[in-house]
Amino acid sequence: MTNPDEENGTTGRFLVLLEDGAVEAGTRELDRIAGLRTASTAEAAGAEFPGPDGLVFDRLGVAVVSADPDQLAALTSAVDAPGPIAALEAERRVFAISAAAEEAAPGPQVDESVFTWGLQAVGANKSAATGAGVRVAVLDTGFDAEHPEFAGRAITTASFIDGETVADGHGHGTHCIGTATGPRAPGGGAGYGVAYEAEIFAGKVLSNAGSGSDGGILAGIAWAVSNNCQVVSMSLGAAVRPGTPYSQTYERVASRALAQGTLIVAAAGNESRRQEGRINPVGHPANCPSVLAVGAIDVATALGWFSCGTVDLIGAVDVVAPGVDVYSSWPRPKNHNRISGTSMATPHVAGVAALIAQATGARGWELWARLHQAARRLPLPSVDVGAGVVQAP
């Protein structure tokens, strides 16, 4: 028998957004109106969904709860009444964002003997900034922490997937971490890391199969914020249809994170088929106004055929970065791989954000503004590329 929640892309649990400064009152209200007993923590690791009926993320002001029909009805009524509960929405399933390989006309030849074309495109190879002293959290499928090219680096890890360690059985997370924070002189092959001296925070919020849930993502964000990470990179999400409202919960979480000095960068999505004239909207959660949405370009500075765009008044592409045929780290024994997607563009932006954060001291909204202001304009519609290609300081 088919599970209806699986069919509509939800888990059967719910996100409860609490009003600003109302974590304690909201926790009491969840118990009072719906009999929900929740654990309260901002740093839970090792399990995606601990707690009796739910988990409250203190730093974010959000609860993830299980609710039966009567409890759900009580919560729905509470949203419309004065009190600490601001919004209620179904918890979604989310996925690593990867683009399938597709034959394309060869682009211009770029010498990658020293640095990848992506590092060259964002100017990281010419920047004096290294990312030193900046904490970058990559929330993904985990990380091969024993990868030989990351020996001696400051690495903090946590898994938010029940039953799985942070070890990356997928590859996507290790690739993204490599682009954002990997080495410049790996000892063989091109240097591929943008912020190569940044502190690495690897949060496993997607399983080895490449899937997860809103609750796991929020747990990872709460962990990153509580660890004072200046940048959070999320190459993950869920596709949406045109006109679908963005998540009020994620929007408030991203805004609260910005106010605490943490910028969240997320992949716009890979559902477009531009070669067929089809452009899909920016996906969840990148479509939230307070999440920096990243599209992908190729070596010829053309849009990736898969890159989602701005198609309505809800989600918008903010910037673009290299996302086609990107060389980076991969779990052992392969060590390296080339893959494509807005997933690969996102860690380029996260790395550049770390360089700007180090060079200028900018945090939160100021860091967002500096990324926009420094971007290199492109002769392409802003609905597809936003401010343009991010540039290192």
CATH of domain 4-92: 3.30.70
Please pick, among 98, 235, 272, 343, the residue that the annotation labels catalytic.
343
Residue-level pLDDT at 175: 98
In which element (H, E) is residue 345 found? Answer: helix 342-360
Do residues 349 and 356 lie in contact, with contact meaning Cβ atoms separated by under 8 Å? no
Please pick, among 140, 144, 325, 384, the residue that the annotation labels catalytic.
140
- The arithmetic mean of pLDDT across residues 350-378, rounded, is 98
**Catalytic site residue 343?**
yes
Nearest to 345 by CA among 226, 234, 207: 234
Do residues 378 and 389 lie in contact, with contact meaning Cβ atoms separated by under 8 Å? yes
Q: How far apart are CA 262 and CA 226, in angstroms?
A: 10
**Catalytic site residue 298?**
no
- Burial class of residue 53, CB neighbours in 10 A (0-12, 13-18, 19+): buried
Domain ranges of the chain: 4-92, 96-385
Q: How far apart are CA 275 and CA 117, in angstroms?
A: 23
Give tens-digit pLDDT for 280-297: 999 999 999 999 999 999
Tokens of 184: 């410049």
- CATH number of 96-385: 3.40.50.200, 3.30.930.10, 3.40.50.1970, 3.40.50.11440? 3.40.50.200
Give tens-digit pLDDT for 324-336: 999 999 999 999 9
Q: How far apart are CA 124 and CA 39, in angstroms?
A: 43
pLDDT over 70 percentage in the chain? 92
Please pick, among 147, 170, 172, 284, the residue that the annotation labels catalytic.
172
Q: Flag the least confident range among 42-51, 112-121, 358-367.
A: 42-51
Q: Please state, rounded to an integer, the average pLDDT across all residues of the chain.
A: 93
In which element (H, E) is residue 89 found? Answer: strand 85-96
**Catalytic site residue 172?**
yes
Do residues 16 and 72 lie in contact, with contact meaning Cβ atoms separated by under 8 Å? no
Tokens of 113: 């003997």
